[in-house]
C-alpha cells in the first residue's frame, strides 16, 4: 500500500532503528516489550524542537511584524496559493507537521502502554499541545490515538474537523494533564499542571469560549506565585532562558541537535541572519511603536520594549540574544494576563477592571496606564489589548494567530484576505504519499 504518509511513516520508529525517523534519544523498539518509557517520553519532548522556527516564521512573517526579501519567501505576505511552493513547504511546514506527529506517536505509546501515571499525564500534555499546534496552523488534521495504527485502513488518514479535534483530543488531554500533574516539572522544563491549565485557557480562547477561558486563566494567575512564576521586573529578561515568567518552553541546546534541519533557526530569521530576509523588520511594527510614543513616562527613554525588540537602523529584530542556545517560550505569564484581560472584556467586565490588568505590563514598558474614561467600550478595550499583545509579544510567534483568532486579519493587514489563507498548506508529500486521502487546504 502507498499511503504511509510522514505522519504514519513515523511508525517506522518502532520497527527500524536505522531509519532517519528514529526517536531521540535511543530506546527499545517494540512497544509491547517496553518496561521503561523514559526514552519514549524524552523523544516526545525532543520532537517539539522541530516546531519553534516554523512557528516563529508563521506567526510573525505571515503577519505585519516581519518581511521576507528573496523569492519565493515573500509569499508569506501574499495571500494566495504561492505559499504552497516546494521550498517553503519543505523548509517550514513539513518539519513542523512531521515532528509533531512523531511527538504524538511517542505520546500515544506512553498513554496506551505505560503504567506510570506521571508519565501518562506528561504524555497527555504533549499530545494535547501537539494537536493544538497542528490545528492552529493547518485547521482540520489527521487524528491518530494509537502508537501503531493500521495503515491498511485509509480512514485513519482522513483529516478530522478542527472542532472535533479540539473537543475529542486537545481539551480532554489537557484536562487529564491538569488532573495528573503537579508543578514539580517547571524547573526542568517539563509539563506541569499550571502549564496545562494555561494552554487549556488559551484553547478556550481559540474556541471563543471566553467564560471557560477566564476560569482557567484566572487560576493560572492566582496560582503563579505558589508555582514560583512572576512577572519579570525588566523587559530585557522576558525571553531569557529560565526567566521567572516562563510557564512552558521548548528547551534547545547546541549540544543536542534539534529536529529542525534548515540552518537558520528563529533568532537568525529575526536578526537578518538569513539571505532570504536580510532586513526583515516590517515598517508597520515600527509604526506600532510610534503610536504609543505619547503614552511614555519618560520621553527620553520611550517604550522600553522598543530598543529591546527592534533595531530601526539595521531594520532587524533584536529580541533574542541567546542565538542557537535560545529556548522557545511557548507560554509566559504576560501572555496569560493579556488573554485573561481579553476574556473578561468579552464576558462583560468593566473597562476599568480589564485595563487595570494591563498596568503592570505597561509600567514595566515605561508607559502610563490606559484611561478607562477614554477607552470605554468593549471594542476599544479589545483593540487596546491587541495593541499591547503586539508590542509585548513581538517575535514570539503570536501575531498572525492572534489576528486570525480575533477576526482582525483584514483590518490589521490592510487588505481583504480570504479565510482560506488563515491556515497554511498541508505538505504535498503527505498528500502524495496518502494517494490523496489526506486533502489539501482550499486555496492551495
* Domain shared by 339 and 233, yes or no: yes
**% pLDDT > 90, the chain:** 86
* Domain shared by 202 and 252, yes or no: yes
**% pLDDT > 70, the chain:** 92
* Domain shared by 134 and 190, yes or no: no
Residue 320 main-chain phi, psi, to 5 deg? -110, 100
Secondary structure (DSSP) of 242-304: T-TTEEEEE--BTTB--S--SS--HHHHHTT-SGGGSS-B-HHHHHHHHTTGGGBS-TTT--H
At 69 the pLDDT is 95
At 34 the pLDDT is 67
* Domain shared by 228 and 332, yes or no: yes
- State the cell numbers at 309: 525588540
pTM of the model: 0.93
Q: How far apart are CA 413 and CA 264, in angstroms?
A: 26
- State the cell numbers at 268: 537568525
At 47 the pLDDT is 98
CATH of the domain at 235: 1.25.40.390
Confidence of residue 138 (pLDDT cuts 50, 70, 90): very high
The answer to whether residue 201 sits within a structural domain is yes
Residue with cell 504518509: 5
* Domain shared by 241 and 343, yes or no: yes
* Domain shared by 91 and 210, yes or no: no
For residue 391, pLDDT beyond 60: yes
In this structure, of 33-42, 153-162, 393-402, the range with the lowest mean pLDDT score is 33-42
Q: Kindly report, residue by residue over 81-124, the tens digit of the pLDDT.
A: 999 988 899 999 999 999 999 999 999 999 999 999 999 999 99
Average pLDDT, the chain: 92
User: What secondary structure letter does DSSP report for 368?
Assistant: P
For residue 6, pLDDT beyond 60: no
* Domain shared by 341 and 409, yes or no: yes
Residue with cell 486570525: 404
The answer to whether residue 438 sits within a structural domain is no
The answer to whether residue 111 sits within a structural domain is yes
For residue 312, pLDDT beyond 70: yes
CA angle 312, 396, 262 (to 5 degrees): 90
The answer to whether residue 154 sits within a structural domain is no
Contacts of 154 (CB under 8 A, 6+ apart): 3, 434, 435, 437
The answer to whether residue 429 sits within a structural domain is no
The answer to whether residue 436 sits within a structural domain is no
Q: What is the mean pLDDT of residues 256-278?
A: 93
* Domain shared by 246 and 342, yes or no: yes
At 305 the pLDDT is 98
The answer to whether residue 286 sits within a structural domain is no
Q: What is the mean pLDDT of residues 415-419?
A: 98
Residue with cell 530506546: 27
At 263 the pLDDT is 85
* Domain shared by 57 and 122, yes or no: yes
Contacts of 357 (CB under 8 A, 6+ apart): 337, 338, 340, 341, 344
Q: How many domains does the chain have?
A: 2
In this structure, of 64-68, 119-123, 147-151, 308-312, the range with the lowest mean pLDDT score is 147-151
For residue 406, pLDDT beyond 60: yes
| Among 169, 151, 171, residue whose Cα is nearest residue 160 | 169
The answer to whether the beta carbons of residues 235 and 304 sit under 8 Å apart is yes
Q: Kindly report, residue by residue over 184-219, the tens digit of the pLDDT.
A: 999 899 999 999 999 999 999 999 999 999 999 999
Range of the domain at 95: 11-143
* Domain shared by 139 and 208, yes or no: no
At 256 the pLDDT is 86
Confidence of residue 161 (pLDDT cuts 50, 70, 90): very high
The answer to whether residue 281 sits within a structural domain is no
At 17 the pLDDT is 30
Residue that finishes a domain, picked among 120, 143, 166 = 143
Q: How far apart are CA 186 and CA 191, in angstroms?
A: 7
Amino acid at each position: 500500500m502507498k499511503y504511509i504518509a510522514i505522519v504514519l511513516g513515523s511508525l517506522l520508529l518502532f520497527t527500524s532503528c536505522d531509519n532517519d525517523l528514529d526517536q531521540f534519544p535511543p530506546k527499545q523498539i517494540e512497544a509491547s516489550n517496553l518496561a521503561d518509557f523514559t526514552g519514549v517520553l524524552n523523544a516526545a519532548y525532543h520532537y517539539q524542537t522541530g516546531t519553534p522556527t516554523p512557528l516563529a516564521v508563521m506567526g510573525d512573517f505571515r503577519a505585519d511584524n516581519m518581511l521576507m526579501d528573496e523569492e519565493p519567501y515573500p509569499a508569506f505576505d501574499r495571500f494566495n496559493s504561492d505559499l504552497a511552493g516546494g521550498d517553503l513547504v519543505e523548509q517550514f511546514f513539513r518539519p513542523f507537521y512531521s515532528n509533531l506527529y512523531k511527538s504524538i506517536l511517542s505520546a500515544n505509546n506512553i498513554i496506551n502502554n505505560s503504567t506510570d501515571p506521571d508519565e501518562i499525564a506528561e504524555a497527555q500534555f504533549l499530545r494535547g499541545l501537539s494537536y493544538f499546534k497542528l490545528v492552529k496552523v493547518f485547521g482540520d488534521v489527521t487524528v491518530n490515538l494509537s502508537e501503531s495504527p493500521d495503515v491498511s485502513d485509509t480512514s485513519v488518514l482522513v483529516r478530522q474537523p478542527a472542532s472535533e479535534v479540539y473537543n475529542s483530543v486537545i481539551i480532554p488531554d489537557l484536562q487529564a494533564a491538569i488532573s495528573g500533574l503537579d508543578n514539580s516539572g517547571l524547573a526542568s522544563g517539563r509539563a506541569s499542571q499550571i502549564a496545562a491549565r494555561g494552554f487549556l485557557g488559551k484553547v478556550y480562547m481559540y474556541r471563543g469560549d471566553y467564560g471557560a477561558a477566564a476560569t482557567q486563566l484566572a487560576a493560572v494567575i492566582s496560582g503563579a506565585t505558589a508555582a514560583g512564576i512572576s512577572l519579570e521586573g525588566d523587559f530585557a529578561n522576558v525571553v531569557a532562558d529560565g526567566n521567572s515568567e516562563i510557564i512552558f518552553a521548548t528547551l534547545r541546546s547546541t549540544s543536542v541537535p534539534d529536529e529542525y534541519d534548515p540552518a537558520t533557526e528563529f533568532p537568525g530569521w529575526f536578526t537578518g541572519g538569513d539571505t532570504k530576509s536580510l532586513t526583515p523588520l516590517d515598517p508597520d511594527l515600527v509604526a506600532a511603536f510610534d503610536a504609543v510614543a505619547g503614552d511614555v513616562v519618560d520621553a527620553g527613554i520611550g517604550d522600553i520594549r522598543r530598543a529591546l525588540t527592534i533595531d530601526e537602523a539595521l531594520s532587524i529584530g533584536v529580541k533574542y540574544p541567546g542565538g542557537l542556545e535560545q529556548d522557545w517560550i511557548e507560554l509566559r505569564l504576560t501572555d496569560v494576563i493579556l488573554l485573561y484581560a481579553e476574556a473578561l472584556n468579552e464576558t462583560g467586565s468593566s473597562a476599568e477592571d480589564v485595563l487595570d490588568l494591563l498596568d503592570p505590563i505597561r509600567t514595566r514598558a515605561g508607559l502610563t496606564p490606559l484611561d478607562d474614561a477614554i477607552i470605554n467600550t468593549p471594542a476599544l478595550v479589545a483593540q487596546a489589548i491587541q495593541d499591547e499583545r503586539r508590542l509585548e509579544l513581538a517575535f514570539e510567534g503570536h501575531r498572525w494567530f492572534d489576528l486570525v483568532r480575533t477576526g482582525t486579519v483584514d483590518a490589521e493587514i490592510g487588505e481583504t484576505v480570504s479565510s482560506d489563507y488563515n491556515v497554511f498548506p498541508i505538505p504535498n508529500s503527505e498528500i502524495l504519499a496518502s494517494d490523496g486521502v489526506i486533502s489539501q487546504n482550499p486555496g492551495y
